[in-house]
Structure formats: C-alpha cells, structure tokens
C-alpha cells in the first residue's frame, strides 16, 4: 500500500496489566477504505489492542492515525481525531433513550445539518432504531443494542471504526445481518478494524487479517487466503 | 386548618433547603458513586460567604446569593480536583474518608477565622402577610420559590441539555463515555460545580431564615440532607427533591405535635423504617448486576 493510503499504523505496541502482558510488541497497519480484522482466541489481546488505540489504557509503542501521533491524546480527543470505538459488550447507556445515545456520540461535532443528515442515514440503515428512538437503551434486545452501538459510532462521523466483537451473543441470522451491515458501512467509505472470535465470517469480509495468539501476531495475510488455513485453527486452540 | 397550612409552609421552607443540599450528595454519587461527606460543610461555607459579602461588601441579596453560589461552586471544583480526583481509581472507602477529612478541614478552617457565631444581617425587608389567622412571611415564600426555581433549572439541565445527557451517561457507565468524545473530567467538574453551588445557595437561604451561623452548622443539616438523598434514592435527582420535602414535613409535623426534642428521633426512625421497606429509596432502582 502506498503511504498516502495509510490510515492507521501501530508499531511495537505492548500492553501490560500489572504483571500480565496482554499485548506483546505487535505492529500492523490499516489502509484507508480497508476492512482489517484481528482474530484470535479469547485472551489473545484483541480487545486490549483496540482499547490502547482509543486511549482507554496505557501502552508502550506508537499509534499513528492519519499522520497524527495518538500517544498523548485523551480518549475524547482521539474520537475527535476520527476514530470511533464500538466496545465489547456494546456499551449502550441503558438510562438514555436510543436517540440520546446517538446524540451523545455527536459531542465533538458542530455541523448541525450534517448531524441531521447522518441521523437520517443511521435510521435508514437501522429502521428498528427509528421505531424505538424514544425507548431507553436498556430496553433493547441484544441485536438492537449492537445496531445502536454501530449507529452511535457512525454518528461520531469518524473515518475509522474499531469494532470489538460485534457478533458476540447474537443469533446466527443476526450475525449475518451485522456482517452485511459492516460491509455496507465500509463500502460507504468507513475504514474498519474488526476484532472477532468468529474467524470465518470476519475473514470472509476482511481485505486483510492478522491472527493473534497470546499477545503476538502469529500470522497475517489477505482475508481470503487465511480462510481454512490450519495455522488459524491452531491459533484458536492455543499453541 | 390555618394551623396546618402554616405548618405546611414551614415544612416546605425547611424541605426545600434540605432538598437543595440533598441534590449535591445525589449528583456527586450519581456520577462518581462516592458520598461527598464534605458537602454539609460546603453548605456552611455558603452561609459564611453570604455573611462576608453582606457585611463587608454590603452587597444586596441577589449579588450575595449569586456570588456565594459561585464561590462555593469554585471551592467544590477545587476540592474535587485536589482531593478526590487522585483517588478515583482507589477503593471507595479511601475517597469517603478523604471527604470526611475535607469536611473537618472546612469546619476548622472556618473556626480559625471565625471562632464566634456570626449574625447574618437581614438582606431583605421581611413583610408578613396576614390572611385570616394565617401569617405568611415574604422570606418564607422567597426561600420556597427560589429553591423550586433552582430545582426546575437543574431538572432541565439534567434531563434536557447535552451536558445533562453526558452526566446521566457517566452515571450509567463512566468507562464508555470517553468513547463518545465526551471529556469526562470536565463533566465531573461541572457536576461538582452545580451540586456544591446549590449547596451554597441553600447556605445563603438557611442563613436568611435562621440568621445565626457557626462553623459546625453544616454537620447536622448535612447528615439530614444526606438521608434525604438516600430516602429519595441516591443518584436520583428527582428523588433527592422528594426526600428533602419528606424530611422537612416529618420534622415540622413532629415538632408541631410532640415536644420538639423528639423531632430528630422521630424523623430518623421514620426514615429508617422507610429504608427497610424500600432499601433503594423512593425513586431508586435496584442496581442491575453488571457482568
């Protein structure tokens, strides 16, 4: 990929929790317009990687986004820089209405007319959210909450979405639906870094993939090439 | 009948002051799950600001009220930054002990500057209207009306504004809020400013209604307001208001029908019973278990 296309570059990233090393010196890149997936078993360090990028946890190494060093930026400034993180477990505010959840994600934005247009887009993408816009976030089903979480990320007008296990806890039909939507969002111009345990589905939609095992990248390549690779299965079973 | 109405007015006056203070406890708890035990003493500082501004700067009522609120709000924000923020990741009990320490500091600092009780001058000409056997003082009406206005403004801020939305979001899950691009520390400061500012307003109004003030006046009032917040459902803004009016009514009614020394005993007993029946408070909800 050419330098101009490079959107996110992570170099030598390590994350420690007390004495436990969750992420061990990993480096990877995401180009503008790509879907890149980090796959691996539970505890491989996928979520920690995302949490480091969006400034929620301390780390060593460097994270560069659109030519900007994110190291000393607070999490809310990283959102302003153009990264929206959909956290594991969706992070819906159960005491806020669906509409308020979406509005809160616009905190950094001043462009009122564009916000209104984006809200329309989100409601077009997820009609269920419009129907339920006055209900509290806590009243939604798991699938609806996931849609709200993605909708919220879209409302922050970020260039790049970090999606942490969007398929978790959803029925197979909903999993297919959410992956279809991820691809649709990507085609509409958002760059996506997708963290998943569901390797098959994510390799299917990803342009490139990195396989994590106990905090290290053990394998990388084009999504399609890695499908069915025995090493991927090995990484899941633990080496 | 007139007697009852008279007592109801007294209850509303006392209750609105309790409610204003209770709001500070409940807002801070809602956002940090921490009881700011220095809050009663901030209320006391509000009364002393009122005294200083009225006596030394000879200000009239409105600037005295606004500047006292502002002063206490600034003090609240400074206290949060210096004393509580470094403990945000520490066990809750550390923060609570620190809050008690801050309260003691405020009491003794004020005591060092002002060892004798102070008398707040009458900032307003108090007229009393007589309707039949009923007498209504303008001061009483002012305290009630002003408290209600402040509470309506607060309710609007919390329920209808962007900043209020962020406060409610923080009370649900503080860890997710930065991902929305919300600067959490600023919202926490704002919450402290509003909560302690209302406590300052209560101090001014208390000082007008009961003009002799001393550095320890915030202790008992603070405890009672804390109980109001718990009875209403701690963390719930409307609950704190309801709790304040309930305690005000109970205290006035007890004092009206029993020897007034029974007042605190009966009030606290009633509140204990209420908490046994509704441990989460009147408007509180059982905390959902987060997995």
Q: What percent of chain B has pLDDT over 90?
A: 70
Q: How far is CA B282 from CA A47, B8, B235, B238, in A?
A: 39, 21, 11, 10
Q: What is the mean pLDDT of chain A?
A: 93
> Phi/psi of residue B262, each to 5°?
-80, -10
How far, in Å, CA of B102 to CA of B172, rounded? 27
Give the model confidence (pLDDT) of B116-174 as tens digits.
Answer: 999 999 888 888 888 888 888 899 999 999 999 999 999 999 999 999 999 999 999 99
The residue among B165, B179, B199 whose CA lies nearest residue B74 is: B199
Residue B195 has pLDDT above 60, yes or no: yes
Nearest CA in chain A to B285: A95
On the CB side of A156, CA atoms within 13 Å amount to 33
- Lowest average pLDDT, out of A43-47, A147-151, A158-162, goes to A43-47
Q: What is the mean pLDDT of residues B200-227?
A: 94
**pLDDT at residue number B288:** 54
Pairing type for strands A6-17 and A60-65 reads antiparallel
Distance in Å, alpha carbon of A45 to nearest chain B alpha carbon: 19
How far, in Å, CA of B253 to CA of B22, rounded? 20
- Rounded to the nearest angstrom, the gap between the alpha carbon of residue B94 and the centroid of all alpha carbons in its chain is 23
With 0-12 / 13-18 / 19 or more C-beta atoms within 10 angstroms meaning exposed / middle / buried, residue B217 is: buried
Q: What is the mean pLDDT of residues A19-46?
A: 93
Q: Label residue B275 by pLDDT band (50, 70, 90).
A: confident
Q: What is the mean pLDDT of residues B87-109?
A: 94
Q: Do B181 and A156 touch (CB under 8 A)?
A: yes
CB atoms within 10 A of CB A9: 17
Q: What is the mean pLDDT of residues A60-85?
A: 95
The 8-class DSSP code of residue B282 comes to S
Residue B11 has pLDDT above 50, yes or no: yes
- Rounded to the nearest angstrom, the gap between the alpha carbon of residue B4 and the centroid of all alpha carbons in its chain is 26
Q: Label residue B188 by pLDDT band (50, 70, 90).
A: very high
Q: Do B179 and A100 touch (CB under 8 A)?
A: no
Tokens 């976030």: give the residue: A137
Q: How would DSSP label each residue in B47-113?
A: HHHHHHHHHTS---HHHHHHHHHHHHHHHHHHHIIIIIGGGTTS-HHHHHHHHHHHHHHHHHHHHHH
CB atoms within 10 A of CB B146: 17
Give the model confidence (pLDDT) of A181-215 as tens digits.
Answer: 999 999 999 999 999 988 889 999 999 999 999 99
Which residues of chain B have a CB within 8 Å of the CB of A55?
178
**pLDDT at residue number A120:** 97
Q: Is the dihedral of CA A169, A173, A174, A179 positive or negative?
A: positive
Coil, helix or strand for A117?
A: helix
Q: Which residues sit opposite B128 in a β-bridge?
A: B137
Nearest CA in chain A to B183: A76
Pairing type for strands A60-65 and A68-69 reads antiparallel
**pLDDT at residue number A3:** 60
Give the domains, in start order, of chain B with CATH numbers: 2-277 (1.10.3470)
Q: How many CB pairs under 8 A join A and B?
A: 64
Distance in Å, alpha carbon of B178 to nearest chain A alpha carbon: 5
State which CATH number among 1.20.1050.140, 3.40.50.300, 3.30.530.20, 2.60.120.10 fits the domain covering A3-237. Answer: 3.40.50.300
Q: What is the mean pLDDT of chain B?
A: 92
Q: Are A215 and A44 in contact (CB under 8 A)?
A: yes
**pLDDT at residue number B141:** 92
Domains of chain A, by residue range, sit at 3-237
**pLDDT at residue number A2:** 57
Tell me what ipTM this predicted complex has. Answer: 0.93
Residue A76 has pLDDT above 60, yes or no: yes
**pLDDT at residue number B67:** 98
Q: What is the mean pLDDT of residues B66-75?
A: 98
């Amino acid at each position: 990929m050419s330098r101009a296309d490079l959107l996110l570059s992570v170099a030598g990233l390590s994350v420690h929790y007390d004495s436990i090393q969750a992420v061990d010196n990993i480096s990877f890149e995401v180009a503008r317009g790509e879907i890149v997936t980090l796959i691996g078993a539970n505890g491989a360090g996928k979520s920690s990687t995302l949490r480091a990028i969006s400034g929620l946890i301390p780390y060593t190494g460097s994270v560069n986004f659109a030519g900007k060093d994110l190291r000393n930026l607070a999490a809310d400034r990283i959102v302003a820089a153009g990264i929206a993180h959909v956290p594991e477990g969706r992070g819906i505010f159960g005491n806020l209405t669906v509409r308020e959840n979406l509005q809160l994600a616009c905190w950094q934005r001043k462009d009122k007319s564009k916000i209104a247009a984006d809200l329309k887009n989100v409601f077009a993408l997820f009609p269920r959210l419009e129907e339920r816009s006055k209900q509290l976030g806590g009243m939604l089903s798991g699938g609806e909450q996931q849609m709200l979480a993605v909708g919220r990320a879209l409302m922050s007008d970020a260039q790049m979405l970090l999606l942490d296990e969007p398929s978790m806890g959803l029925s197979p039909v909903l999993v297919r639906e959410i992956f279809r939507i991820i691809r649709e969002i990507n085609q509409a111009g958002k760059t996506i870094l997708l963290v998943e345990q569901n390797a098959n589905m994510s390799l299917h939609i990803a342009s490139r993939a990195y396989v994590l095992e106990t905090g290290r990248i053990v394998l990388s390549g084009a999504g399609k090439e890695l499908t069915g690779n025995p090493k991927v299965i090995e990484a899941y079973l633990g080496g | 009948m007139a007697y009852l109405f008279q007592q109801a007015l007294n209850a509303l006056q006392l209750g609105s002051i309790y409610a204003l203070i209770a709001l500070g406890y409940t807002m801070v708890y809602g956002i940090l799950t921490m009881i700011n035990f220095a809050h009663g003493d901030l209320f006391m500082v509000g009364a002393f600001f009122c005294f200083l501004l009225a006596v030394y700067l000879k200000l009239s009522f409105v600037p005295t009220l606004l500047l006292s609120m502002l002063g206490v709000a600034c003090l609240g924000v400074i206290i949060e930054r210096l004393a509580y923020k470094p403990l945000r990741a520490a066990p809750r009990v550390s923060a609570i002990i620190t809050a008690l320490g801050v309260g003691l500091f405020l009491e003794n600092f004020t005591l060092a500057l002002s060892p004798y009780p102070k008398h707040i001058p009458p900032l307003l000409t108090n007229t009393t209207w007589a309707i039949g056997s009923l007498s209504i003082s303008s001061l009483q009406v002012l305290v009630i009306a002003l408290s209600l206005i402040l509470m309506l403004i607060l309710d609007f801020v919390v329920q209808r504004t962007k900043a209020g939305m962020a406060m409610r979001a923080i009370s649900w899950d503080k860890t997710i809020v930065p991902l929305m691009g919300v600067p959490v520390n600023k919202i926490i400061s704002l919450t402290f400013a509003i909560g302690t500012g209302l406590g300052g307003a209560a101090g001014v109004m208390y000082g007008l209604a009961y003009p002799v003030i001393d550095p320890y006046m915030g202790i008992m009032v603070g405890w009672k307001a804390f109980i109001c917040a718990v009875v209403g459902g701690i963390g719930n803004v409307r609950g704190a208001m309801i709790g304040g009016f309930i305690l005000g009514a109970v205290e006035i009614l007890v004092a009206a029908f029993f020897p007034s020394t029974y007042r605190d005993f009966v009030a606290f007993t009633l509140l204990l019973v209420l908490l046994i029946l509704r441990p989460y408070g009147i408007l509180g909800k059982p905390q959902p278990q987060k997995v």
